[in-house]
Amino acid sequence: MSSQSSIRTFLIINLLLGVVVIASLTIAASAFFNYRWLRSYLDTELMLSAENAEVLVSTNFKATNFDKTQAKINQLAANFQNYNSQKNSLSKDLPRLVFQIFDNQGRLVLHTPGFTENLEHYPIKAGFNYIVADGKKWRVFATKNDGSGHVIVVAERLGSNSFVVSRITGEFIFMAGMTLLIGIFIWVVVGRGLAGVNRITNEIKNRDRTNLRPVDLENAPIEIKPVLQELNKLFSRLRETFFREKRFSADAAHELRTPLAALLVQAHVALNSKNDEERRIALLSVIKGVERSSRIVQQLLTLSRATTDTADFYKNKVAINREAARVIAELVPLAQKKNITLELIAKDAPQIIIGNETMTGVLIKNLVDNAIRYIPNNSTVQVIIDENEKNIFLHVIDNGPGIPVELREKVFEHFYRIPGTEPSGSGLGLSIVKRIVQASDASVKLQTPETGNGLEVIVTFPKPNLK
């Protein structure tokens, strides 16, 4: 069935086709078996008629009795014809069966009236034969009385059983009519069965574009409930996305308004400064504000990409230990400004996870960058990558102020910064980490290191099956 075809049309056409095929096969099978039964029945009738006629020529039957017997046969045939004519019987074209009896000299001694040709002139063998006599085709059964030597020939005119054929034909016409009624019934039932689908289709079609409420499943057909359930899940995800984007836009506008306002103030200070020193200080403040605004914009772009990229974007093989080495090398100049030592502890062989290489680098960079910014000078940041049978673990450990237990979930929200935090930041670093972790089917946890000071971030990646 093509993507453009109608379920209604598909069902009606195929069901009607099935009914027609089955009805046709039934009619054909009925005709075949009825014909076989009728032929067998009529042949049996021929044989029985021959046996009955043979009684007339038994050895005890005298030749003088043939004339009397023939007269009685003629009278019975005349009475039967008159009766059929009065009743307008379907059998008015009888005699359907005729017989002729010949003596051992080949003379006709008894016969059915109305049959003119002498069957003895035909090359008839014992048993069943087909002949053409009186301009008609006959089915013939011939037998010989062993005692008297008489030959008995019983013939049935083919086509004389038209009343039986008419009856069978009537049955076939009746079955054809029933097939038509079944087709109409199928048309009506399929239409009513799809009424629920049409109702739901119209409901969704007439919705406002902002209406993302779930579709009511109470009266929906069972067959389309799975589709509607998935559609409702899609509506739910869209609602969450729209709400998140709306909140994100509002938070971004609020977060950028402060540094831009500060930039404007410092620019006016520099413009109105009386001496070079005041102007220099004001311009340094402008540079610092631009750097902070640039960082916010860069983080916003990164978060937007991490949020909108498809699931397939995070289905690549990434050597996390090598990506960590590259990121740490980039951050060495920033760490040197505070005399901070960066340590990477990992295997030499590639430690493979499933994700995206760029986003994995962003995740590691945000974690290490946060550690560098919030720990005191002359400290150490450790990046440890280890694994077990099922998972690969990324540890980023510092000896900074840490994060209170009650705030460890809240810090993953957009633009949230712990009150009293001195280093400047956008409050988006851990939000980006959280989004990348979710997209990579991983998990993240914050805890206090074994030393009792600082913060340890543990990101757990499921180990892929590389066979």
Report the number of distinct structural domains present in the chain. Answer: 3
Q: Worst-scoring range by mean pLDDT, 19-33, 58-72, 93-107, 366-380?
A: 58-72
| 442 lies in some domain | yes
Token pair, residue 324, equals: 């960590």
What pLDDT does residue 2 have? 45
Q: Residue 223 corresponds to which tokens in the numbers above?
A: 């067959």
36 or 426, higher pLDDT: 36
The DSSP secondary-structure symbol of 223 reads G
Please tell me the predicted confidence (pLDDT) of residue 108: 77
Instruction: Phi first, then psi: give them for residue 317, nearest 5 degrees.
Output: -80, 130
Find tokens 């910064």 and name the residue. 417
Q: How many CA atoms, within 13 angstroms, populate the side-chain half-sphere of residue 183?
A: 17
The verdict on 162 and 273 lying in the same domain is no
Q: Residue 371 and residue 400: Cα distance in Å, rounded? A: 7
What are the structure tokens assigned to 49, written together?
Answer: 């008629």
Cβ atoms 22, 113 nearer than 8 A: no
Asked whether residue 38 is domain-assigned, the answer is: yes
Please indicate, yes or no, whether residues 111 and 19 belong to a single structural domain of this protein: yes
Q: How far is CA 365 from the centre of its chain?
A: 44
Helix (H), strand (E) at residue 131: strand 127-133
In whole angstroms, what is the distance from residue 126 CA to residue 355 CA?
Answer: 93
| Contact of 103 with 150, CB cutoff 8 Å | yes
| Domain-located, residue 207 | no
**300 and 334 assigned to the same domain:** no
Element (H, E) at 70: helix 65-87
Instruction: Say whether 48 sits in a helix, a strand or coil.
Output: helix
Alpha-carbon distances, residue 49 vs 165, 255, 273 (angstroms): 22, 113, 139
Is residue 193 domain-resident?
no
pLDDT at 427 over 80: no
Do 229 and 149 belong together in one domain? no
With 70 as the cut, is the pLDDT of residue 122 above it? no
320 with 457, same domain: the answer is yes
Two tokens, residue 24: 């046709």
More confident residue, 251 or 66: 66
* Boundary-marking domain end, from 308, 328, 354: 308
CATH code assigned at 136? 3.30.450
Radius of gyration of the CA atoms of the chain, in A: 52
Q: How far apart are CA 222 and CA 50, in angstroms?
A: 68
> In this structure, is residue 186 part of a structural domain?
no
- Highest-pLDDT range among 146-155, 273-282, 447-456: 447-456
Q: What is the pTM of this model?
A: 0.46
304 in the same domain as 369? no
Of the candidates 140, 114, 124, 145, which has an alpha carbon nearest to the alpha carbon of residue 46? 140
> Is there a single domain that holds both residue 294 and residue 426?
no
348 in the same domain as 301: no
* 292-348 per-position pLDDT tens digit: 677 666 666 666 666 555 556 667 888 999 999 998 998 898 899 899 999 999 988
Longest dimension (CA), the chain: 166
Residue 101 bridge partners (DSSP): 110, 152
pLDDT tens sequence across 23-45: 778 777 777 776 677 677 777 77
Tens digits of per-residue pLDDT, 352-410?
A: 998 888 888 888 988 998 889 888 899 999 999 999 989 999 999 998 888 888 888 88
Q: Please tell me the distance from the alpha carbon of residue 109 to that of residue 269, in angstroms, as a whole number.
A: 148
In angstroms, rounded to a whole number, what is the distance separating the alpha carbons of residues 168 and 178?
A: 15
Instruction: Tell me phi and psi for residue 145, to 5 degrees.
Output: -80, 120
pLDDT tens track for 5-23? 567 777 778 887 887 788 7
State whether 254 and 361 are in the same domain.
Answer: no
How would DSSP label each residue in 397-410?
EE-S----GGGTTG
Q: Which amino acid is at 261?
A: A
Express as a percent the part of the chain with pLDDT over 90. 10
Residue 455 in any domain: the answer is yes
Determine the Cα–Cα distance for residues 156 and 141; give it in Å rounded to an integer.
9
> 137-182: per-residue pLDDT in tens?
778 888 887 777 788 888 887 765 555 566 667 767 777 788 788 8
Of 249, 278, 308, which one is at a domain's C-terminal end? Answer: 308
Whether the Cβ atoms of residue 325 and residue 344 lie closer than 8 Å to each other:
yes
The answer to whether 418 and 430 are in contact (CB under 8 A) is: no
pLDDT, residue 62, reads 59
- For residues 163 and 265, membership in a common domain is answered with no
User: Is the preceding peptide bond at 113 cis, omega within 30 degrees of 0?
Assistant: no
Q: Say yes or no: 16 and 115 in one domain.
A: yes
Q: State the amino acid at position 94 in one-letter form.
A: L
Order of strands, edge to edge, in the sheet holding 341-345?
A: 341-345, 380-387, 391-398, 455-462, 443-447
Last residue of a domain, one of 276, 308, 340: 308
Higher pLDDT residue, 122 or 32? 32
Residue 319's domain spans which residues? 311-462
- Contact (Cβ atoms closer than 8 angstroms) between residue 101 and residue 81: no
Pair 315, 288 in one domain: no
DSSP code, position 451: T
Is 446 within 8 Å of 457 (Cβ atoms)? Answer: yes
Does residue 180 lie within any of the structural domains? no
| 174 occurs within a structural domain | no
CATH number at residue 227: 1.10.287.130
